[in-house]
Structure 1
């Protein structure tokens, strides 16, 4: 969907929502109308959001200084009680004309107040979440698509002049529609990823943000050392970067000093898999020189029994590996042949990792 088509779609939905709000304010809806309105609301989450927004605004209009007098009252909507002239439809014509004029006035006030309220208050985010081992494809208002990885959370704030989303935990693959007038920004902890139109992956844990580009270009901004000003790194297709920050950092806590970690080649523990951004959408987890802590964080979004590290220091060990989600237990059991750790499996299937003894 093009940006213009998306805007026209939003306008159409708002017009439909305003029709139901105004009609319900004028009189009690009959059973058929109630069924039609409720069916429309349930047909699309965007319908319900628009209806709720316009309903709240309509309820507030009367209390807003200078606007309450603009709303026609029921008395003003009533038709003249004088008898109709025999043989004419004068009374019906007056009723139709006055109701149309009143509806137009109401709609004008409603649109004006909604527009003003949206400009004066922060955008309320739309929140998406996935459960353990669940993935979800999300189509955004501009036609962009996001595949949300398991146990991940995404907040979306769109407006005419901006496209902003926040990945507050987990991983997501973005396929962004190009719109030069509205750059697309992804927030992940202390990092910001800015694009115009591209395909890329963002993985956010409590210790790092990893960005990999499949198509197009992105700019990753992140805090410098010792909390300095933001630094920007530009990535092209096939490139990736890792921003590592203090272990205490999270989406709700201020991060410590961060550092950009290049994806440099190292001695592969397994045959180098040359990971493709977003390959996890196919049920495969592929890593090239990634921190063990980040790999464990990913695995725990798919594997219910869970994997923990008894010694946090081993989290900085680097791993190159590729395995299917269904092979997680077998992979963790074999880690002692890849890096200097030992894996202890409990009866529940949970694993505890610790540094291998000499």
Structure 2
């Protein structure tokens, strides 16, 4: 859906909601009308949200002195109330007047929405569940297991927040409305591209499949944002202070010093979004991040008895169905031991060699 089509869709919903709100304030709805209205409200969460917003605003208007008799009753009381004989009755006989009132109602609601914070749409997935989400502008998001996404769209901006987990974004180009993904303090800004964002309690990882993005994070002590630009096939990582302070394995590492929050320099990205096809692919990632990912797919769970081993670096590729076999063989890749409990849970510890 293009941005123009999305705006037209919002206008259509506003018009339909205003019709039902004004009609209910004019007279008692018949049984068939109530069924039709309730079916419309249930057909789309946006219908219900807009109807509630318009109803509240209409009630606020009606509460003004001299207009109290215009207020519709609470929805739950509508079926039991007597027919209303308000001064709005004339609108039923004058369609142009009704349309004008509906337009005023929509305008008042639009202004009220501009003056209050945008209520986010919230999407969540359970363990081992993925979900494809189509956003109002036609962009698509594939939400990984055990992940949460909040969406706030307006005419001048497209903002989403990944509050946990991982998501792959396919963003529709719209230069007039930049698309921004928030993950903790990190900001990923894009105009049109395909990219992956992974947010754990240890780090934020961003990898680009197509197009370009800019990853920004606040500097320490209120310093300006520090940004790293990524092109197709590149990735970056923002580590949190606690993770950056953990000991790391010998060899190349893009970890930052404790307390730093600048995105790491770009590096090659192996198969961004491969998890959508049931494959987990890692190139020199921290064990703690790999374990966080695995625990979104594997119900018995994997824990690290010694948190210090979380800084060990791992390069691997395996199917989601192969998680138990991979964890069992991990001691052949890095200096850890993996012990499996009867329920299938794994506990990792530092190997003493």
2:88 is matched with which residue: 77, 83, 107?
77
| Cα contact 1:226–1:258 (8 A) shared by 2 | no
Counterpart in 1 of 2:338? Answer: 343
2:285 corresponds to 1:287: no
| Cα contact 2:92–2:98 (8 A) shared by 1 | no
Q: Deviations over 1:114-166 (max 9, x none)?
A: 01101111111111111101111111111111111000001111111111010
Moved more, 239-248 or 202-211: 239-248
Find the residue that maps to 2:137 and give its secondary structure: coil
| Cα contact 2:227–2:263 (8 A) shared by 1 | no
1:96 is matched with which residue: 93, 99, 103?
93
2:210 is matched with which residue: 211, 215, 220?
215
- Displacement of 1:336: 0.1
| Superposed CA RMSD | 2.5
| Cα contact 1:71–1:109 (8 A) shared by 2 | no
1:125 is matched with which residue: 113, 120, 125?
120
Distance 1:78 1:297, change over 3 A: closer
Q: How does 1:296-315 map to 2 (within 5 A)?
A: 296-315=291-310
Distance in structure 2 (CA, Å) of the matches to 1:46 and 1:334: 49
| Cα contact 1:194–1:219 (8 A) shared by 2 | yes
Distance in structure 2 (CA, Å) of the matches to 1:299 and 1:178: 33
Counterpart in 1 of 2:43? Answer: 43
- Displacement of 1:350: 0.7
Structure 1 spans left out of the alignment, 5+ residues: 80-93, 250-254, 266-273
Structure 2 spans left out of the alignment, 5+ residues: 73-83, 245-257
Q: Deviations over 1:3-54 (max 9, x none)?
A: 1111111111111111111112222222211221121122222222222221
Q: How does 1:7-86 map to 2 (within 5 A)?
A: 7-63=7-63, 74-78=85-89
| Cα contact 1:137–1:147 (8 A) shared by 2 | yes
- Displacement of 1:223: 2.5
- Displacement of 1:241: 0.3
Count of aligned residue pairs for this structure pair: 329
TM-score (norm 1): 0.86
Counterpart in 2 of 1:170? Answer: 165
Find the residue that maps to 1:116 and give its secondary structure: helix
Compare CA radii of gyration and give the structure with the larger one: 1
2:253 corresponds to 1:258: no
Counterpart in 2 of 1:91? Answer: none
